[in-house]
Structure 1
């Protein structure tokens, strides 16, 4: 058993490491070291917290930690990089559910302490948390109850919302916005009922209020995310990340755990900032994203003229062999086909021929912020040729060839040309300004969001149909 001084010192060290980890993740070259900062910080947090004052029950605590670590190692080894978005959503759900359970337990302990004090004023057996509760003044107990309410509400919304997000990202739930009859009124009604239950609880109502509050919050999380379209999933994932952080912070206040408060606040604030950045990248209002499906057209979309013209590997190779500059724009289709290694091989071959090759990355490409950057880093694509949208958008007009791999909305000119389009005003990569555009795509469908793309019908665009990995592997031997 360690003293509180050791635990506090470890909490400060872990907090510093978490801050360094977040700061390092903003740069691809520093990201690996930043991840290790986070790993070491979490190891310190778990070790010193488990040995802190008032902690016991090691006969079950240690096995649970070993089992949890084993599951983590197994999942890390089994999950493909292309499945990272749904894994992140699943992990958010665990944080939310843990917050609900801790809040319930905290209130049960509070009730047990008050009952013992009312009986004889002596606690025969008590946990570290119960001992803490026994020293609190009435106004401090009221704040404890408020913290319990917040932890349950935010945690329950995070849990079911993350489960639905996992289903949509994994393709197990329809990506289109779905809501029950009554739509947002149901969410508003559940929120009002939750507030009434919180008031009843704070005025002495029984534990049943917290159970019903959790049930209503579970519904809000489920119905809220079901009503959001698949194209908004990058924002939803970062938003749920923020929710999980605030849920952890609320639990930290409940348990008087400074490290949990700091860590939760870091995750919550960074997730909120990332959500704002994602919304800005999509020209979307954050509240509108949370309350509804993707887009909101004001009239009939513009008619698209022309036809999609297909091309084979030989035609694409000929254009690439003649080109001096090439920009590759990856999207979720590259992740699904696991084509990042083939893309990396193509880049090495083109650069060996003296061609200038770069990548254009849209902030919401894929199903998770930074999804494409992670996949390209895994395939060992040099960091210095992977550029963000703002860095490369002005260069398309002077580029010989653009290869679009599995992208749709982020290269859709309707965002600029059609005010009635559901994505009108969304900043996009202006690939159509290049001399030639080749789109690697499975078929003629409209993609995840169901929005038609005029790019596919333009005179300088050719459709390179087929599985992205197979198509690129067929192209590689033809490059000089």
Structure 2
């Protein structure tokens, strides 16, 4: 059987597994199987790539075999590091790991482009254009994802604020576009320093694009860079004439683009804001006067009230992940269910620090999928709930997004927790959300605050119900 036929067939199977695996990832129930299928597809694609060494002229085999040996060493190092870091990472650190891996994909695409461009000879104009675009997008994704990782990991705590930032970023993008056009116009025959300048500016643009972005906007940023990496990989797959890379890149790029649009819509932002660093630029000096007062309540009292409720809806946020309280929360939920209370989870699209962050967190704690609902599915049920409890969320439950046209978050879809008969909010202190806007919910007549770390508060609530049941 010809080696070329085996390679092409392997790529076809790998492409099918990529696409079907991604489809399976659309549901929490089948997501694990989808990840396995896509992983098997990647293994097949990698193995098929090594078969190229058997389908070359005899005089070219020694050099190719040396390159394959180097590739095997790199592959082994990458697999070892990925396995170790994947086993070690805590669930709360999953967003930064996703950002880091995404950056590595963009960096790999940029590296391929750099090699192809530096040794450019006989590629057609389309291949040259795609190599340049892939290098540009991959470099932006690399540096931007690394900044996102550093922000999520707490290594960078400040956001960049400066006058004329949009103008600077727009100018950078204009220069990059001009360089890309010049390189293609010259057929790739340009000095090496120009290639270096091109990639350096692309890396700089990724940094400048991401530095102003706050933590609450990271779900959109991660989705955007995921799309960038997919596009870059797809372009470089065309340059290398590698069908598996092309298909995988286009699938990831299209899925990432759709997810970016959905995340941006969920935050009432445009993709243009993402590209030109308008995220987090809303003024935090809102002067709206909110009537009412903050009303604290003890964790034990809130727990007993929930024990006698008919229906409870839980709205988790990033604070749940920070406190690593998901297991304690599910233990409390099971106790309520044993007492006959109907319990559901309401997930905002941008809750947490990456798309699906809360879903992953709750699944890791063993929460059944049929208890977890997206915002569109459950928002109408809050008015039927006896109790809504907010854990570590802020902007995503702020009613001013619906009613206050002067608010920076006006128009952003939020969970209707304020419509429940009673609302409890677990929060560390009296701080505002990332938008800098005071939350009207906290001052509502039907809302009471439980101050403290979510892990400790839920432990106290759990103990209170257990004590009640034992009496």
27-36 or 50-59: bigger deviation? 50-59
Q: Matched residue of 1:59: which SS?
A: helix
For residue 19 of structure 1, report the CA deviation from its aligned partner.
Answer: 0.7
CA distance in 1, matches of 2:260, 2:70: 38
Determine which of 235, 240, 243 is the counterpart of 2:228.
243
- Deviation track 1:30-68 (CA, whole Å, cap 9, x = no partner) reads 111111111111111111112224552233222222221
Determine which of 99, 103, 116 is the counterpart of 1:89.
99
- Is the contact between residue 228 and residue 290 of structure 1 (CA under 8 Å) also seen in structure 2? no
CA distance in 1, matches of 2:161, 2:99: 20
- Is the contact between residue 149 and residue 198 of structure 1 (CA under 8 Å) also seen in structure 2? yes
- Deviation track 1:143-168 (CA, whole Å, cap 9, x = no partner) reads 33212211221111111111111122
- Is the contact between residue 299 and residue 460 of structure 2 (CA under 8 Å) also seen in structure 1? yes
Gaps of 5+ in 1: 115-132
CA distance in 1, matches of 2:71, 2:232: 22
- Is the contact between residue 327 and residue 399 of structure 1 (CA under 8 Å) also seen in structure 2? yes
Aligned pairs (5 A) from 1:67-466: 67-110=77-120, 114=121, 133=122, 140=124, 142-174=125-157, 176=159, 178-202=160-184, 203=186, 204-291=189-276, 292-294=278-280, 296=282, 300-466=286-452
CA distance in 2, matches of 1:408, 1:193: 40
- Is the contact between residue 216 and residue 352 of structure 2 (CA under 8 Å) also seen in structure 1? no
CA distance in 2, matches of 1:298, 1:318: 37
CA distance in 1, matches of 2:435, 2:325: 22
- Deviation track 1:412-451 (CA, whole Å, cap 9, x = no partner) reads 0110121111100111001011111111111111133332
CA distance in 2, matches of 1:97, 1:403: 42
Question: What is the TM-score when the length of structure 1 is the normalising length?
Answer: 0.90
For residue 392 of structure 1, report the CA deviation from its aligned partner.
Answer: 0.9
CA distance in 1, matches of 2:238, 2:102: 19
Q: Matched residue of 2:201: which SS?
A: helix
- 2:4 counterpart residue number: 4
- Deviation track 1:358-417 (CA, whole Å, cap 9, x = no partner) reads 011111111111110111111111111111111111111111111110000110011012
- Is the contact between residue 105 and residue 229 of structure 2 (CA under 8 Å) also seen in structure 1? yes
CA distance in 2, matches of 1:68, 1:336: 29
- Is the contact between residue 404 and residue 438 of structure 1 (CA under 8 Å) also seen in structure 2? yes
RMSD (Å) for aligned C-alpha atoms? 1.8
Q: Matched residue of 2:352: which SS?
A: coil
- 2:61 counterpart residue number: none
For residue 321 of structure 1, report the CA deviation from its aligned partner.
Answer: 1.9
Q: Matched residue of 2:423: which SS?
A: strand
For residue 172 of structure 1, report the CA deviation from its aligned partner.
Answer: 2.1
For residue 201 of structure 1, report the CA deviation from its aligned partner.
Answer: 2.3
CA distance in 1, matches of 2:82, 2:409: 39
Q: Matched residue of 1:18: which SS?
A: helix
Question: What is the TM-score when the length of structure 2 is the normalising length?
Answer: 0.92
- Is the contact between residue 297 and residue 420 of structure 1 (CA under 8 Å) also seen in structure 2? no
- Deviation track 1:222-262 (CA, whole Å, cap 9, x = no partner) reads 11111233222111110000000011011111111111011
CA distance in 2, matches of 1:379, 1:299: 39
CA distance in 2, matches of 1:357, 1:152: 49
464-473 or 305-314: bigger deviation? 305-314
CA distance in 2, matches of 1:346, 1:338: 14
- Deviation track 1:58-108 (CA, whole Å, cap 9, x = no partner) reads 332222222211111101111111111111111111112212221121123
Q: Matched residue of 1:193: which SS?
A: helix
